[in-house]
Chain A
């Protein structure tokens, strides 16, 4: 498969600070690719180099077969961008921004249809400053999509939004992918990456430390599984012997935490419960997430 974006040995420093250190990655057609890591890890710098909006010190970048610096004008017609914490003129109306953007590209989509798709049709005549955070981001998505780009870059799209607005944006992003557009996004929210991304690359201190599908990364780095259930059965501990480590928490009815590893672990626990006829009052599984992967790989949480 030919990559839509190919980055090799990208390097960028600001003065003495190394922002991006020898990053190589590939993004394929029709996927949502996420660059994830804490603030200041080098996500935005990497993305801006790929967009052609920042000049790298080292390395080569190819987007849709073009060089983002040398072929900047040709590339701008084929990619859409959304910047982190961006604004427009306070008193620009939604339709005016869309109208201006439409005049800049050779091939454009219908403005009203796009605004409707993004749920902004009732905000056509509103000033930018009077839009909510979620509406502003949806407008920026509209501006990024106005020329039917082949690749869309979304930088920290949902930072600062409330959970409801965030979910609405997630739906829009998967919609972009489902229409065949490749999406390259950055986020420091592991839940967002897990929900949206087909593949992720974890970046920290400018270095790419791991790359893969969220599931694969969790399997590889955090194979532990945990089953927690409550039961009045006195002999749970010995019945679960051999499956994994069993911890017992006494309460009005005892809570058992059973830790094991591997894909079959949860099934094995359920089989034992069924076979032994253990009466269970509550049951849940705890499966590690990308957040756990990040913690394991870096030794600290994403929000540090």
Chain B
């Protein structure tokens, strides 16, 4: 006897994947936008400090920005889908079947993570071709860090999806929560230079830990040196998931 949450899980996941690819706008936003941004900004600012010229001042690491944007667009897309599904009674209808609530949400998460990997792969392929000479980063380690970050930020996405009153507000509410998070994540200026209150707040956002971990993987210091951020992502995942199970609305 298979566990209850597996009943229909892969079928629903595959179905949601197909449905997602049939939506041209969502598809473009997820796969193409971060890539375009990466290439444009990469050309303007350089992808990261070249190893040979550490004194060159570059405003931020474009590769990490693009990776975080991929994660955020996955979260935006999750919030939009859940609010549309809720408003249309789709969540309610799915929940009235033998599907477990974990399955219904888990399928969405798996689809988002899968597209995150695809999008990130495109990004890395483009990076290799367009920006030769950038530091060789451990691709698997970087991908794993992006996936862990996305996973953690998605749990916050469920909290946002609970707050969004109707599908119309999914985009603005999502953006209003996610982009300030990005601003204080340490990507543009160091977190420890932020005012004390903002700094405390920043550590409650998964993006801050995500950026620190990705920076660590990028500069070669690795996961061990950033175990605090890994723990931060996991703890925030647990906390946001617990919160969303309390506040989540199915209709």
Which A residues are within 8 Å of any B CB, using their own CB?
A: 51, 53, 73, 76-77, 81, 83, 85-92, 96, 99-101, 103-105, 127
Contact = CB atoms under 8 A, between A and B. Distances in A.
Given A77-B98, A92-B19, A104-B97, A83 B92 contact: yes
B22 A91 contact: yes
Interface string B86-103: 001110110111110000
B55 to A, nearest CB: 52
Contacts, number: 58
B15 interface: yes
Contact of B89 (A77, A83, A90, A92): A83
Contacts of A100: 8, 11-12, 15
B11 A103 contact: yes
29 contacts: A51-B96, A53-B95, A73-B98, A76-B97, A77-B98, A83-B89, A83-B92, A83-B96, A86-B89, A86-B90, A86-B92, A87-B90, A88-B88, A89-B19, A89-B85, A90-B23, A92-B19, A99-B11, A100-B8, A100-B11, A103-B8, A103-B11, A104-B7, A104-B8, A104-B97, A104-B98, A104-B99, A105-B98, A127-B22
Nearest to A92: B19
Contact of A101 (B4, B85, B92, B97): B97
Nearest to B81: A89
Contact of A76 (B12, B92, B98): B98
Contacts of B89: 83, 85-87
B8 A86 contact: no
- Identify whether the interface residues of B are mostly helix, strand, loop, or mixed: helix
A51 B89 CA distance: 16
- Identify whether the interface residues of A are mostly helix, strand, loop, or mixed: loop
A248 B23 CA distance: 67
Nearest to A74: B98
Given A73-B4, A96-B15, A104-B8, A89 B98 contact: no
A138 to B, nearest CB: 15
| Nearest 4 A/B pairs, CB to CB | A87-B88, A91-B22, A86-B89, A104-B98
Contacts of A51: 96
B23 A91 contact: yes
Interface in B1-50: 4, 7-8, 11-12, 15-16, 18-19, 22-23
A89 B82 CA distance: 11
Nearest to B89: A86
A192 to B, nearest CB: 21
